Amino acid sequence: MRIGWFYPIALLLVLGGAFATKHVDSNFVFYAGYVVLQFIVLATAWNILGGFTGYVNFGTAAFFAVGAYTTIALNKALGLPLLAIMPIAGIIAGLIGLAAGYFTLRLKGVFFSIATLALAVVLETAVANWGYVGGASGSYVIPPAEVPFFDNYIEGLFSLMLLLAVVAVGIARYIALSKIGRGFAAIRDDEVAAECMGVPTLRLKLIATTLSGALMGIAGAPYPFYVTYVEPTSAFSLTYAVNSIAMPLIGGTTTWFGPVIGAVLLGSLQQWATVTISSELNLLIVGVTLVAFVVLAPQGLVGLARKLFGRGGRTP
């Protein structure tokens, strides 16, 4: 079997990250890096549905928060450690993705997007009224004092998110290069034609919503340990929805690496701006960049590069 270049590089990245935790002293690098990596997972997860099949999901925050609140609930109820909670968070968020997909995928275009936005609002209201996880006033999570192998908790979380990002990108890449991915692309281009060409469109779309939701949920699971205090407004923040749409759009939605490029660029820019200018500037940066790309490079950086270096187009 051909192994290709992707898996060795992915392994090197994870090992390199773990190695870095031993040799970089500044915790800021890991705090900031965690956020960028988290956005790589969210952008990649969003892109599996939004970029590959063309269904724009405005509810990223809902799935992310489902993951976060799964952690809070299970940590409080059973005292489960994060690593045990993450797969459960993925399953719950995946099932919500499946159910949401089943009920909303009949809606096309902007109507689907509005339905996903509504899902986020409904879930936020539900959580804000659920006393056990802190309701509207929020809830504290106390990270364990010691983590095996790592010197402190943030290094462990950083490495965990790095692993997750690599796995998420690996899944997206596997899909993009597989029969499922080609079916997704057919749905994005023309769903009616795809169905008539033998593509089981409903089943494929449900695979996309389930997988996308599950990855977002898993990305949200470590969040309570990262911030240690979670309340609905921050867990359901529009920032997640906006960023996870903007990043793939900036990078390019039709490929698996587009969202990675977008997340690294936009995520780093925001982290830099938070420290140097102001933390309130974040969404403005996202907004301006997004508008600039929609106007100047609607196919994202990947599309721009392809245009400049001429792939496709008509060869007479």
Partner 1 sequence: MNQPPVLDVVGVVKRFGGFTALDGINLTVAPSERLGLIGPNGSGKTTLISCISGSLIADDGQVRFQGQDITKLTPHRRTGLGIGRSFQIPRPFGSMTVAENVAIPLEYVGQGSRKEIASEARDILGLMRLDHLADTDARALNQIELRKLELARAMACHPKLLISDEAMAGLSGNEVDEILEILLAVNQRGVAIIMIEHIMRAVMGFSERIVVLDAGKKIADGAPEEIMRNPDVERAYLGE
Per CB under 8 A, 177 contacts partner 1: no
Query: Which C-beta is closer to partner 1: that of 213 or that of 251?
Result: 251
Cα–Cα distance, 3 to 11 (Å, whole number): 12
Q: Is residue 230 within 8 Å of 134, Cβ to Cβ?
A: yes
Cα–Cα distance, 297 to 192 (Å, whole number): 28
Query: Which C-beta is closer to partner 1: that of 148 or that of 312?
Result: 312
Per CB under 8 A, 182 contacts partner 1: yes
Per CB under 8 A, 306 contacts partner 1: no
Lay out the site mask for partner 1 across 192-231 (x = CB under 8 A, - = otherwise).
xxxxxxxxxxx-----------------------------
- Measured from the CB of residue 51, what is the shortest distance to partner 1 in angstroms? 11
Backbone region of residue 82 per phi and psi (left: phi > 0; alpha: psi in -120 to 50; beta: other values) = alpha
Query: Which C-beta is closer to partner 1: that of 131 or that of 313?
Result: 313
Stretch that binds partner 1, among 27-35, 116-124, 176-184, 242-250 (CB under 8 A): 176-184
- Please state at what angle helix 258-276 crosses helix 282-296, rounded to 10 degrees: 140
Per CB under 8 A, 281 contacts partner 1: no
DSSP 202: H
- Count of residues in contact with partner 1, rule CB under 8 A: 24
Stretch that binds partner 1, among 85-93, 112-120, 138-146, 189-197 (CB under 8 A): 189-197
Backbone region of residue 199 per phi and psi (left: phi > 0; alpha: psi in -120 to 50; beta: other values) = beta
Structure tokens at 301: 């950086």
Q: Is 83 helix (H, G, I), strand (E, B) or coil?
A: helix
Q: Which of 136, 18, 114, 116 is nearest to 64 (CA)?
A: 116
- Measured from the CB of residue 199, what is the shortest distance to partner 1 in angstroms? 5
In this structure, what are the phi and psi dihedrals at residue 148, rounded to the nearest 5 degrees?
Answer: -60, 145
Query: Which C-beta is closer to partner 1: that of 180 or that of 266?
Result: 180
- Measured from the CB of residue 185, what is the shortest distance to partner 1 in angstroms? 6
Query: Which C-beta is closer to partner 1: that of 79 or that of 198?
Result: 198
Q: Is residue 231 within 8 Å of 118, Cβ to Cβ?
A: no
Helices (H) then strands (E): counts for the chain? 15, 2
Cα–Cα distance, 242 to 219 (Å, whole number): 16
CA distances from 234 to 68, 118, 148 (A): 11, 17, 29
- Measured from the CB of residue 304, what is the shortest distance to partner 1 in angstroms? 16
Per CB under 8 A, 186 contacts partner 1: yes
Per CB under 8 A, 310 contacts partner 1: no
Per CB under 8 A, 109 contacts partner 1: no
Query: Residue from 91, 167, 185, 269 that binds partner 1 (CB under 8 A)?
Result: 185
Per CB under 8 A, 189 contacts partner 1: yes
Strand partners, 229: 140
Query: Residue from 174, 190, 278, 292 that binds partner 1 (CB under 8 A)?
Result: 190
In this structure, what are the phi and psi dihedrals at residue 315, rounded to the nearest 5 degrees?
Answer: -110, 105
- Measured from the CB of residue 206, what is the shortest distance to partner 1 in angstroms? 13
Stretch that binds partner 1, among 41-49, 87-95, 117-125, 180-188 (CB under 8 A): 180-188
Q: Which residues form the interface with partner 1 (CB under 8 A)?
A: 179, 182-183, 185-186, 188-190, 192-202, 254, 312-315
